[in-house]
Each structure stands twice: as C-alpha cells, then as structure tokens.
Amino acid sequence: MPVIEPSVTKQEIICAETPGEPCGLVVFGASGDLTRRKLLDSLFQLYLRDLLAEQFYFVGCGRKPLSDDDYRDIARQSIVAEGAADEQVAGFIERIHFVSGNYDDPAFYEAIKTRLTELDEKFGVDKCHIFYLAVPPTLYGTITDGLGGAGLARPSTTGKCPQARLVVEKPFGTDLESAIALNDRITRSFNESQIYRIDHYLGKETVQNILMFRFANAIFEPLWNRNYIDHVQTTIAESIGIASRGGYYDQAGALRDMFQNHMLGMLALMAMEPPTSFEADDIRDEKVKLLRSIRPIDLDSWTASIVTGQYAAGTVSGEDACGYIQESSIPRDSTTETFVAARLFIDNWRWQDVPFYLRTGKRLATRLTEIAITFKNVPHSMFASVGLDEMPENVLVLKIQPNEGINLSFQAKRPGSKACMSTLAMNFNYSDVFAAQAPEAYQRLLLDCMVADQTLFMRQDDVEVAWRLLTPVLRKWAEDRTEPYKYPAGAESFSEADALIQADGHFWRKLLQK
C-alpha cells in the first residue's frame, strides 16, 4: 500500500495513468491511412503525456521502399504538434524507423528480426515486441505465419516481457466460419493470451464509463432491470458516406462493419451482469454470457426484427449528397445496406421482454452515438385530476460522440401555477467538467497493449458468439436477395425503420446533439 502524502489524495493515486512498459511497437501497413490518421498521433500524444516508456521505439513496416528519414517525414506530417516544443517533436521522431519488404517474403521477417535486435540494444528494450496489423484482414494469416517462421511470435522468455503481443483490427472475419478459420490461422503462431482484437469504440471514455457508472454507484444498479427499464435505444449515426472505403464497404455493409463489433460490444457492456472483479477476463466472461443470451433474430418476420436501408441522393448539412450507388467504385446494382435497425431481446432474468433497439446508418442527418435508457412510467399519476395523467418517461442518455457525456431527464415543478410541471435535464459533458477533450480512443487502447491489459479487447469466443447471432441473417439475405429500402441522404430515419419501433408504441429519438 503506497504511503499517501498529505497533499496527495487516494483518488489522485488511483487516477494516475500507468505508463507503458519498455517495448518496440511494430506496425504493418505503416504508410496506410489508419497509421497516418490515428496511430502516429495517438502515440505522440502519449509521448507528450509521459506515458511512453523512455525505452520505446516504433518500427513501420510496408511494401514501399522508404528509408528511416523518408518515413520520419511522413510521421512528422501525421502528428498534431500544436503546443509541443521542437525538442519534443524531435525526441519522438528519432524513435521511428522503417523496414520495407513483401509480406509473403520470409526474408522480410528476417530483416525485421535483425532490426529489432539492433533497436532492442540501442533503446534498452528487453525483447518486448508488439505487432500491430494495420492491414486488410486478408493479410493477417500471411503476416502471422511470417512472424512465426522468423521466431518473432514467441520469443525467448529470458526477457522481462514473456511473450510478443499481436494487435488486429476489425473486421475479424466476415461470418462465423471465416472468423473461426482466421483464428485457427493466427493461432498457429500466437496463442489467445497474446492476441488483442481492437475495437476503437470500446476505447471511448463514455463507453468505458458504462462500467464505472453501473458498478461504482448504488443509485442506478438496483433499477437496471426489467422491473424499471421500459426499453433501450442504441444509435450510431454518421453524416458521412463511404468516402474512399468503397471497395471494402460494398463487401461488408453496415451489419458487418458496425453491428457485429461496435454495437454488440456496447450492448454487452450496458446489459451484462456485474463481473466478480475489474480483471480483464472477468469482465470479458460477463460480456460473452450476455451475448449468448440474445434471442436469435426471427428470420421469418423481417419487419418485426431487422430492417435495412441504403441511402439515395439527398441533402446533408445543406449540401447535396449523391446516393450510395452513385459513389465511385460502387456497382450500380449494389444491394449493400448502409443502414440497419434491429429489435433484440435478451433472454435472461434481468432483461426478459425488454426490447433493445439498435440502429446505425451512413449519410444521416448528423453524427451521433448514444445509448438511451428509457425508464417505465410511474404506475399511478396523482396529478391526473389537474390534467397530468400521462407524463414523459425518465431517460438516461450515455453520449458517446461527438460530445461525450451523460444526460438525465426527469420531471420537476416550474415556478408559477401549483400544477406547473416540465421535463428538466441534468447534463454532464466531459469537456466542460474536466476542461479538456477526452483523449482519442486509440491512445487508451495502445497504452493498454503496452501494459498487457486486455479488458477492452475482444476475445475469440466474444467474436464467435456475435457472428453466431448474425451469420443466419446474412445467409437469409443472400438466399432471398433481399434489397434494402431507400432513404434520402440527410434523413433521420425512414418509414420502414420507424415501423419496427412504433409497433411497440415507441419512437426513435431525434438525432440531436445536446
């Protein structure tokens, strides 16, 4: 137990971030969009916050024939150095290196091994390596085979780091069978304890706060069940289209791209049972139990269970937007869905018969991610005699993006008439309370990789149970050649999606950023 100085509170000790341990981070696909937009700057921000170990280095790997200096120029352009001193930028950049080669060439991995040996000695890293696959999933097996063949997947345990770590991006498979096959391929070289399947949504502050909110407060947890909660709505709305991702997106669609990982991951955290501890596997055990409890989707009644849409031409934020099939690289007869709404039930003691409505879509009216928990109405209104026989429900909203925070609406008397009542809202915004924007999700996840914390990463059984729920849906769509409904770009919803929730007497929440 640490000795607490008079000027330091116990809470401040708990809140202190644990810096990453000495390591070398090796990123495949280092000249790609993800690395340039997210990873390099996230690492730089960790460096500015003194959360990278002094013994840290970065090795970019890719096909482009770049020198260390060439890649350092790319890295310098990728980081946000506003407010950083020149020596801070220089100190970070000098840790960056590059190795080029072909992913299917064994000599490439031998060259990486040689460079890691040199850099381990230079930076004082004791054989601790993290391999990050920022490449298409079709290359995962090739790269892990190459790392295994070069002896990099399970290095000698004589160092302080007992084993290498492998970070893989979504999508992890395209259905249940492909996910199992991909995992079988990867586990030829890496075991499950080494694998970090990343979902950047789980790195967002408000998503992480679900655990704290539920299990560190006695106010809400007793109400967190079918006796008090009427229904739950989870929304991930995007105002953008597919941008340059057309080739990938048309093969994936909204169900694979958003539902299988982000949406089910948030649902699991929101609805799971209390874990026995804050340890990674205890939390992940409960997530998997929750996902296993989701009732199979009714394949014989689409409109009651799941609805798909595809955006047509319209107007977003006052600007004309083309339809999905007018986007470059998209076939004119594509039936890929850009919107999915689903009505799910969780068959367990806590949630029986509580509907969970999930929706996600591109080219909607605004960008918004939130979880809205609607509580049941009071069983009897004592104010019926003065015309207040029906009152609005209490709603708790966990705001994920763009303005991270929490909102709670409730009824209260207004000044004036004896029966003057209105809905009030208590708003908590991270940026207002903490006078700073929440860190980029990749900062949290990269740091967790460096300290070997797998809490926010998906386990293989987590991936498989999610695919087991959705694969029958994908097969049914393929068999029936189901075409999505059309909705105009800039819409909040459309009639067929509205019918799914209105059948239960509910309505989708407005896509408003508050």
Residues marked as catalytic: 262
Q: What's CA 471's distance to the chain center, in Å?
A: 20
Cβ contact 171:261 at 8 Å? yes
d(CA 207, CA 131): 26
CB burial of 293-317 (b: ≥16 within 10 Å; e: otherwise) equals bbeebeeeebeebbbbbbbbbbebe
d(CA 377, CA 19): 47
Q: Which single residue is written with the structure tokens 């915004």?
A: 429
Neighbouring residues of 153: CB distance < 8 A, sequence distance ≥ 6? 144, 147, 164, 166, 189, 190, 194
Cβ contact 262:391 at 8 Å? no
Q: CA distances (Å), 42 to each of 15, 78, 401, 436, in order?
A: 20, 10, 18, 16
Within 10 angstroms of residue 159's Cβ, the number of other Cβ atoms is 15
d(CA 128, CA 395): 47
Q: What amino acid occupies position 322?
A: C
d(CA 500, CA 305): 7
Q: Which residues are bridge partners to 167 per DSSP?
A: 132, 196
Cβ contact 342:204 at 8 Å? no
Peptide bond into 171 cis (omega under 30): yes
Q: How many residues does the chain have?
A: 514
Give the largest CA-CA distance in the chain: 83
d(CA 244, CA 249): 9
Q: Shortest CA distance to 96 belongs to which of 146, 145, 27?
A: 27
Q: Cα Rg for the chain, rounded, in angstroms? A: 25
The enclosing H or E element of 99 equals strand 96-100
Cβ contact 346:294 at 8 Å? yes
d(CA 156, CA 314): 58
d(CA 370, CA 364): 15
Q: Shortest CA distance to 341 belongs to which of 503, 479, 172, 499?
A: 499
For 240, phi then psi, to 5°, come to -80, 165
d(CA 212, CA 214): 6
3-state secondary structure of 294: strand
